[in-house]
Structure formats: structure tokens, C-alpha cells
Structure 1
Amino acid sequence: MTTERLNQISMQMLTLSGNAKKLLTEVLDDLANPDTPSGDHQAKLNQTHQYLVDAHKQQNLVTAEINHVTYSVLFAHAQDTLMNTETIEFIIKKFIPILQNQN
């Protein structure tokens, strides 16, 4: 895999993860506002999940050629961003039922 291709994949992963993180921030804002219908945040969670699936597909393109890839700080950053965003998604999904039971 060329460095240019690895950088393209890394940037795509960062973009997808960033889009997911933006939606997760909106979900938190929705949850803080009791007037927001619950369907609004569910649609955003669904879109978030798809962004993360797509980011993983990009990551898999690299891991499929791992023997032909040199270390890249950008790719490591992209992987870190993806994992952090997945953690945020996990925590929010666990907190939603807790918050809904308080109302």
C-alpha cells in the first residue's frame, strides 16, 4: 500500500469518526432537552453507527495489507479517533435507558 493511499484511508476514517462524534454531541444535547422527541436521537444514533461501520471498513482495507504497510502516525491517530468515538457511542447508549427511566 502506498503512503498516499494510506493517508487517504486515514483521512476518510477521521472524517467518518468526526461525523459520528458530531452526531453523538447532538444526541447528548437532545437528551438534555426534555422537549426533544426520543425518535430524534435514535435516528442520530443509527447514523452514528453507520459512520463507525464505514470507518471500520476503511480500517479493514489497511489491515488486509498489513504486511505491506509502514507505520503511519496519521493512521494511528485515525484508529485512536475511531476507538474513542466508539467508546462515546457505547457510553451514551448505556446512559439513555437510565436517563429515560428518570423521567
Structure 2
Amino acid sequence: MEINHDKSVDVEKLATISMQVILHAGNARASLFKAIDSASNYDFKIADELLETANDDLTEAHRVQTETMQLEAEGIQVPYSVLFSHAQDTLMTVKSEQNLIKEMIKLYKRIGEK
């Protein structure tokens, strides 16, 4: 992240960071829904691989978000951005979907055992 000499975050860079969070969260969402689709067809190997891919994307999105928030905690002014707020909301929503889909896949695995 580029920091100006006046200790503020560059607005254009914040927009880029926001898009990175949205991109990784969106990729994770796509992998999660493919995973639950695979599990519904009892293809748990693919489902587990897709869960891992989704987790990797969510980890990256969370890392980028956290780095940005840490700047503000260090006293560096981060401007308000509707786009960054949307990115955080998207990340949080996909994280919740991840938790639910993981539980649904566990259920499919139990059904598949019977």
C-alpha cells in the first residue's frame, strides 16, 4: 500500500485493494458453490479440493483487508470508501457461506456413508 508523506492512504490504491478483496471473495464463493454441487453428487474428493481453493482465496482476501485496517490502527488515516465497505461486506458474507457449506458437505458425507 502506498502511503503519502502526510501519512494518509492513497485513495486509488484503496480502490485497488478493495477490488482485490472482492475478487478473492468472489472466487471463493464460486469454488464453494462448485464444492457443494460436487458433494451433492457424492464427489467428495473434488468437493474437498474446492473447499481448499476457496479457503486459499478467503485467506488472501482477509490478509489484504487486515493489512489495510492495521494501518488505521497504527494511526495512518484511511479514507472512508463505499467500495472498501462493500469489499468487507462481501468477504464477511462469503465467510458465512463457507461455514454453512462446510457443514452441508459434512451432511452429504454422512448420507453417502449409508
TM-score (norm 2): 0.83
State percent identity of aligned pairs.
33
Pairing partner for 1:62 from 47, 68, 85: 68
Query: Which one has the bigger helix percentage?
Result: 1
1:98 and 2:100 matched: no
Pairing partner for 2:32 from 16, 24, 27: 24
> 1:61: how far off?
2.0
Distance 1:23 1:98 in 2: 18
1:15 and 2:50 matched: no
Q: Which has the higher contact order (CA 8 A, sep 6+)?
A: 1
Distance 1:44 1:99 in 2: 15
1:43 and 2:44 matched: no
2:58/2:91 contact within 8 Å kept: yes
Q: Which structure 1 residue ranges, 5 or more long, are not aligned?
A: none
Distance 1:59 1:97 in 2: 29
> 1:96: how far off?
1.6
2:4 match = none
1:53 and 2:59 matched: yes
When the two chains are superposed, the root-mean-square deviation of aligned CA atoms in Å is: 1.1
Pairing partner for 2:11 from 3, 7, 15: 3
The count of aligned residue pairs is: 101
Q: In structure 2, the residue corresponding to 1:68 is in which secondary structure?
A: coil
Q: If you compute each CA radius of gyration, which structure gives the higher value, 1 or 2?
A: 2
Residue identity opposite 1:89 in structure 2: Q
Runs of 4+ off more than 2 Å? none
